[in-house]
């Protein structure tokens, strides 16, 4: 009996998640862990949740700006799509939420998914650029491990490569015309779909990078990152840690780098693993670091569970549609 590759991928993902959790919980003194939890300053948690929601609002505003060149969309729609995608990542492995939010926006805007994809790539370029900038700034104030600095260099190189490919595909080569000739009649349907996808993608990429207002997008990106750092700092305050903003900034950078690879639902295992690794760099004892990692993951799951579930219900999507969503998205 042969099992599909997808099955083995899931097995690997869950084994890695279990291994990460086993390491996180190893050596933890549970009596001290409970003591830390009981002595929390809970009034910081609602403030952190509000900031976390503002983080998604700034994300939605940035996406609205980036997608404007190909069509108009309401801010509430981009926010709803983002929350639906985040909720999807909570219940399914391998982070399909990115594709889900793009699919939803393409459906609401009555556009092909390939026309929305450039705006999502642009988001990642801005995020990656700020991540590299953050690593550079943190090195002036905090002693970072060489592996983190090397990771920043790699991310920067990848960003430059992606930008080069974008320029090449969007401007240097316009052979993917949206008009069909008689030669297309004999082309098989899958090849014709690929040509259409490349045509729509190239057109959308040119629109994003020639028409978008970069300063508002950059401002929204910086707000997005600042709100994330601030919400982490507030949870640290709730946990009894009195640190500067550079500490949550470094923790956020390491967690983002560590969880960039698709993993288990809600990044369970990998999130806690890299969070503990980051916190122990600052001399925080492992039991305390583990409690804070658990608290961070629980607190920031709450708004996604509530608002994400409501956004998911309102979107009209079904779980079965989510499971085969990637095929549907690329066929639009």
Contacts 24+ apart (CB under 8 A), 230-233: 230/51, 231/48, 231/49, 231/51, 231/52, 231/55, 231/300, 232/296
CA distance 139 to 146: 10
Contact 201, 117 (CB under 8 A): yes
Sign of the alpha-carbon dihedral angle for 313, 314, 315, 316 = positive
What per-residue confidence (pLDDT) applies to 324?
61
Question: What's the whole-model pTM score?
Answer: 0.89
pLDDT by residue (tens digit) across 187-220?
567 777 777 777 777 777 777 777 778 899 999 9
CA distance 125 to 164: 12
What per-residue confidence (pLDDT) applies to 164?
78
Exposed / middle / buried, residue 252 (Cβ in 10 Å: 0-12, 13-18, 19+): buried
What per-residue confidence (pLDDT) applies to 185?
53
Contact 292, 236 (CB under 8 A): yes
Average pLDDT of span 279-297: 96
CA distance 316 to 130: 34
What per-residue confidence (pLDDT) applies to 54?
98
pLDDT by residue (tens digit) across 8-53?
888 999 999 999 999 999 999 999 999 999 999 999 999 999 999 9
From residue 71, how far is each of 60, 80, 152, 211 by CA, in Å?
15, 17, 34, 12
CA distance 7 to 34: 37
What per-residue confidence (pLDDT) applies to 329?
44
CA distance 232 to 242: 12
pLDDT by residue (tens digit) across 58-81?
999 999 999 999 999 999 999 999
Higher pLDDT: 208 or 307? It is 307
Residue 322 clears pLDDT 70, i.e. is over it: no
What per-residue confidence (pLDDT) applies to 332?
44
Q: Which residue, chain included where needed, has tokens 């949740």?
A: 49
Average pLDDT of span 82-97: 94
pLDDT by residue (tens digit) across 95-120?
999 999 999 999 999 999 999 999 99
Domains of the chain by residue range? 30-330
Structure tokens at 48: 């952190």
């Amino acid at each position: 009996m042969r099992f599909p590759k997808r099955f083995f991928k899931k097995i690997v993902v869950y084994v890695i998640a279990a291994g990460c959790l086993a390491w996180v919980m190893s050596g933890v003194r549970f009596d001290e862990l409970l003591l830390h939890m009981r002595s929390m300053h809970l009034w910081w948690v609602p403030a952190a949740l509000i900031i976390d929601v503002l983080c998604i609002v700034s994300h939605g505003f940035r996406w609205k700006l980036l997608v404007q060149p190909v069509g108009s969309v309401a801010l509430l729609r981009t926010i709803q799509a983002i929350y639906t995608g985040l909720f999807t990542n909570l219940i399914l492995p391998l982070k399909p939420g990115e594709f889900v939010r793009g699919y939803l926006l393409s459906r609401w805007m009555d556009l092909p998914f390939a026309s929305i994809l450039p705006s999502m790539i642009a988001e990642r370029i801005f995020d990656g650029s700020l991540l590299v900038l953050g690593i550079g700034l943190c090195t002036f104030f905090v002693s970072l491990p060489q592996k983190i600095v090397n990771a920043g260099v790699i991310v920067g190189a990848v960003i430059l490569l992606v930008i080069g490919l974008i320029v090449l595909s969007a401007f240097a080569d316009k052979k993917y015309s949206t008009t069909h000739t008689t030669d297309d009649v004999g082309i098989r349907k899958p090849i014709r779909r690929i040509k259409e996808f490349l045509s729509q993608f190239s057109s959308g990429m040119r629109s994003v990078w020639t028409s978008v207002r970069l300063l508002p997008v950059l401002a929204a990106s910086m707000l997005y990152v600042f709100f994330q750092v601030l919400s982490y700092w507030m949870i640290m305050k709730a946990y009894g840690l009195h640190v500067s903003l550079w500490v949550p900034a470094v923790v956020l950078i390491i967690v983002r780098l560590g969880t960039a690879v698709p993993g288990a639902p809600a990044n369970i295992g990998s999130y806690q693993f890299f969070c503990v690794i980051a916190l122990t760099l600052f001399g925080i004892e492992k039991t305390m670091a583990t409690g804070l990692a658990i608290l961070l993951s629980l607190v920031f799951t709450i708004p996604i569970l509530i608002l994400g579930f409501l956004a998911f219900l309102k979107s009209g999507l079904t779980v079965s549609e989510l499971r085969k969503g990637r095929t549907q998205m690329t066929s639009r």
